Amino acid sequence: MTDIAITQLPAAPLNVLEIWSNPLAVLDRFEKAFGPSLPPLGSSLQLPGRLLIRYEPAVWLVEGETIGLAEILGSDGSLTAIGGGLVRVRLSGAGWRSLLMEGGVFDAESKAFAPGCSAATVIDHVNVRLLVESDDACLAYVPLSYARGMIHFWTIAAKSLD
């Protein structure tokens, strides 16, 4: 059996940051407040107390602190709490990439999918958001309503990997 650990993590503050209009103005306000820019599509940015992960063209997942973000958005977007709607699952060990290939449509084995990279994909008919934490670990954000089934699916699939 391939070395894989599947760990459901404790709940964390999760919010969706969306930009509806004036993206350049929002990016400018963000840079003035925090230094770096919002992360580009398919990547993440770790700041003190918060992690910003971009999965969609105008959507970021914010894990952790949100102080100042609503003011940066102004009337150009929204910040919506969704912490209760997602379950965080860490897939770790040498086989986490192979495990994501089971029932998935995303090439998790690509070396370009490196630490700090993110992806939105479908695994076993479930919308899953992924964040590569390190060479040996990936964080999956799974809808609460499918989390139990997804963890079960991964547990069974992990037993079949060599």
Please list the pLDDT of the chain residue by residue as tens digits (162 residues): 468 999 999 999 999 999 999 999 999 999 999 999 999 999 999 999 999 999 999 999 999 999 999 999 999 999 999 988 999 999 999 999 999 999 888 899 999 999 999 999 999 899 999 999 999 999 999 999 999 999 999 999 999 886
Residue where the block lists tokens 């105008």: 58
Pair (89, 57) in one structural domain: no
Closest-CA residue to 153 (of 106, 99, 83) = 99
Tell me what pLDDT residue 162 has: 65
Q: What is the dihedral of CA 113, 118, 120, 121, to 10 degrees?
A: 30
Pair (101, 153) in one structural domain: yes
CATH number of 91's domain: 3.30.1360.120
Tell me what pLDDT residue 3 has: 86
Contact 138, 95 (CB under 8 A): no
Pair (65, 124) in one structural domain: no
Residue where the block lists tokens 């699916």: 153
Give how many domains the chain has, as a whole number.
2
Tell me what pLDDT residue 161 has: 85
Range of 64's domain? 14-83
Q: How many alpha carbons fall within 13 Å on the CB side of residue 150?
A: 27
Domain's final residue, options 50, 83, 116? 83
Give the pTM.
0.93
The alpha helices in the chain, defined as continuous H runs, are: 23-34, 69-73, 96-101, 144-160
